[in-house]
Amino acid sequence: MKPRPFDYVRPETVDEAVAILAEHGDDARVLAGGQTLLAMLNLRVVEPVMLVDITRIGELGDIREVGGKVEVGAAVTQNRLLSWPALAGKLPLLAAALPFVGHFQTRNKGTVCGSVAHADPTSEIPLSLAVLEGEVVLRSQRGTRVLPAADFQQGMLTTAREPDELITAVRFPVVKGGVAFREVARRHGDFAIVGIAALAEGKDSIRLGVAGMVDRPSVSRIKGSSASDIRDAIERLAWKLEGYDDVHASARMRRDLLRGIAPVVIEEALRCAA
Amino acid sequence: MRRVNKGERARLSLTLNGRKLSGDAEPRMLLSDFIRHVLGATGTHVGCEHGVCGCCTVLLDGAAVRSCLTLAMQAEGRAVTTVESLADGNGKLNTLQQAFQNNHALQCGFCTPGILMSFTDFLRRNPHPTQAEVVDVLSGHLCRCTGYTGIVAAVLEAAGSKPKTEESH
């Protein structure tokens, strides 16, 4: 339960960090909060040659509003975003979902961007980013790219990040409307089996985000004119996404969870919008 | 830029319970092992070593974190606070520890140091939590004696909050 040996580098600027990544590429892993990475290192699931610790890069430590979006830097922890005074007003979906990310003790160290970088298909933060149609900011020596969440997360633990790129921030759009979030896990704080987030911009425009059914968050638009329309749309969605079998749940159970929870979450979001 | 190559031992300093201390560590050394084996403070316990059990919880610059999911190098120059800091110099228990004793909140005691550190951080942020909030924070710890009821009661007593009665459930 100890990591294999690796080199440790702690840059102080983004320029230094991307220079290291340009030189070492796939051999290097970026270390931010480390709440997944350290566990994987201890279990020797990953064996990087080098860890690049970005937590002391001052310019990555900000939460700021830029043109209708909240930009969260790569060194910002989940608990820091959760205690950001403007969170409930600007990003109510994150205010609802963040308490389900790990535990109080892991949120003290785990970062918002780290969760997006890890791209677990059941994770709450990538799901919220997808529903809000947010963006991921990537820097390398070649320049800066900004990718929509849907293009960034490509599959199970797979993203569009190139080996020489550093995620410097994620951007959550400030969207008007009602939101709701629920998930089902074996115990609070465990990995979710299915997570559901809804954003109701109006009665006929609901974004429904589903985590834990396919290899990445899935977002669909649903018209909410009547309860039976919503039920039909969710039924079609359950069969379209299918779900998958793993040690936590069968595909059938995942479809049932979606059928059971999604209407409640949509109703909550609509009530919250009204 | 700080750089330590694999296998190399770097001298690193940190503040442990208010005292400036230094020791040598390889990059791969976990903070939990650095505190116990290099600095010799064995009050912090190590259970699962992959962030699940919470036994090794310490404060890093005041925030409760898993020391097994933290590299010693990451604590360089920072303040680490462990269970040894809680009682005063004469061994008099602090309010939280005394409440644990009053409520039989420990059986074998293995998980206790981590739980005490979690609530040391949490009660500073939220001095009068509800029972549900205490349970939520406690969900980040495993007590294999399963004595959670006493722990919840102890934290509520330390915070001066009343435990929920059976009827109000």
- List of domains in chain A: 7-53 (3.30.43.10), 58-173 (3.30.465.10), 178-273 (3.30.390.50)
Q: Rounded to whole angstroms, how far apart are CA atoms A38 and B64?
A: 16
Does the beta carbon of A85 lie under 8 angstroms from any beta carbon of chain B?
no
Which of A273, A270, A183 is closest to A229 using CA atoms?
A: A270
Task: Please answer whether residues A114 and A120 qualify as being in contact, where contact means their C-beta atoms are separated by less than 8 angstroms.
Answer: no
Q: Which of A20, A53, A57, A103 would you mutate first to test chain B, the one with the most B CBs within 10 A? A: A103
Q: In what order do the strands lie in the sheet with A143-148?
A: A63-66, A69-73, A166-173, A135-140, A143-148
Q: b/e for A22-47, b at 16 or more Cβ within 10 A?
A: eebeeebbbbbbbbbbbbbbbeeeee
* Structure confidence at residue B169 as a pLDDT band (50, 70, 90): very low
Q: b/e for B74-97, b at 16 or more Cβ within 10 A?
A: bbbeeebbbbebbeeeeeeeeebb
The distance of B98 to chain A (nearest Cα, Å) reads 23
Q: b/e for A127-137, b at 16 or more Cβ within 10 A?
A: bbbbbbebbbb
Which pLDDT score is estimated for B160? 92
Q: How many CB atoms lie within 10 A of CB A100?
A: 18
Tokens 């785990």 map to which residue?
A110
Task: Please answer whether residues A66 and A171 qualify as being in contact, where contact means their C-beta atoms are separated by less than 8 angstroms.
Answer: yes
CA-based angle A262:A249:A102, to the nearest 5?
Answer: 75
Q: Which of chain B's residues have a Cβ under 8 Å away from the Cβ of A55?
A: 74
| DSSP 3-state of A7 | strand
Which of B22, B21, B25 is closest to B5 using CA atoms?
A: B25
Does the beta carbon of B65 lie under 8 angstroms from any beta carbon of chain A?
yes
The overall average pLDDT reported for chain B is: 95
Alpha helices in B103-147 (DSSP H): 112-125, 131-138
Task: With CB atoms and an 8 Å threshold, state whether B63 touches A108.
Answer: yes
* Structure confidence at residue B167 as a pLDDT band (50, 70, 90): very low
Per-residue pLDDT of chain A (274 residues; tens, 9 = 90+): 899 999 999 999 999 999 999 999 999 999 999 999 999 999 999 999 999 999 999 999 999 999 999 999 999 999 999 999 999 999 999 999 999 999 999 999 999 999 999 999 999 999 999 999 999 999 999 999 999 999 999 999 999 999 999 999 999 999 999 999 999 998 887 889 999 999 999 778 999 999 999 999 999 999 877 889 999 999 999 999 999 999 999 999 999 999 999 999 999 999 998 8
Angle between helices B131-138 and B148-158 (to 10 degrees): 130
Task: With CB atoms and an 8 Å threshold, state whether A6 touches B28.
Answer: yes
Q: Which of chain B's residues have a Cβ under 8 Å away from the Cβ of A42?
A: 30, 49-50, 68-69
Query: What amino acid occupies position A110?
Result: G
Task: Please answer whether residues A105 and B66 qualify as being in contact, where contact means their C-beta atoms are separated by less than 8 angstroms.
Answer: yes
Q: For residue A144, with 0-12 CB atoms within 10 Å meaning exposed, 13-18 middle and 19 or more buried, which class applies?
A: exposed
Which pLDDT score is estimated for A190? 84
- List of domains in chain B: 10-82 (3.10.20.30), 95-168 (1.10.150.120)
Tokens (6 digits) for B166: 């059976």
Task: With CB atoms and an 8 Å threshold, state whether B1 touches A7.
Answer: no
Picking from B27, B57, B69, the nearest residue to A38 by CB comes out as B69
Cβ-proximal residues to A15 (8 Å cutoff; 6+ apart), any chain: none
Q: Which of chain B's residues have a Cβ under 8 Å away from the Cβ of A12?
A: 1
Which pLDDT score is estimated for A226? 86
Does the beta carbon of A103 lie under 8 angstroms from any beta carbon of chain B?
yes
| Phi-psi group of B104: left, alpha or beta (phi > 0 → left; psi -120 to 50 → alpha; rest → beta) | left
Does the beta carbon of B57 lie under 8 angstroms from any beta carbon of chain A?
yes
Q: What is the tens place of the pLDDT at every residue in B15-58?
A: 999 999 999 999 999 999 999 999 999 999 999 999 999 999 99
Which pLDDT score is estimated for A188? 81
More confident site: A228 or B73: B73
Instruction: Give counts: helices (H), strands (E), chain B.
Output: 5, 6
Q: Rounded to whole angstroms, how far apart are CA atoms A90 and A102?
A: 23
Does the beta carbon of A11 lie under 8 angstroms from any beta carbon of chain B?
yes
Q: What DSSP letter does each residue of A258-272 carry, written as one string?
A: HHHHHHHHHHHHHHH
* Structure confidence at residue B147 as a pLDDT band (50, 70, 90): confident
The distance of A266 to chain B (nearest Cα, Å) reads 25
* Bridge partners (DSSP) listed for residue A164: none
Tokens (6 digits) for A149: 């969440």
Does the beta carbon of A104 lie under 8 angstroms from any beta carbon of chain B?
yes
Tokens (6 digits) for A228: 């039976």
ipTM of this predicted complex?
0.94
Which pLDDT score is estimated for A187? 83
Which pLDDT score is estimated for A189? 79
Which pLDDT score is estimated for A1? 82
Which pLDDT score is estimated for A254? 98
| DSSP 3-state of B4 | strand
Tokens 């939101």 map to which residue?
A179
Q: Rounded to whole angstroms, how far apart are CA atoms A145 and A213?
A: 29
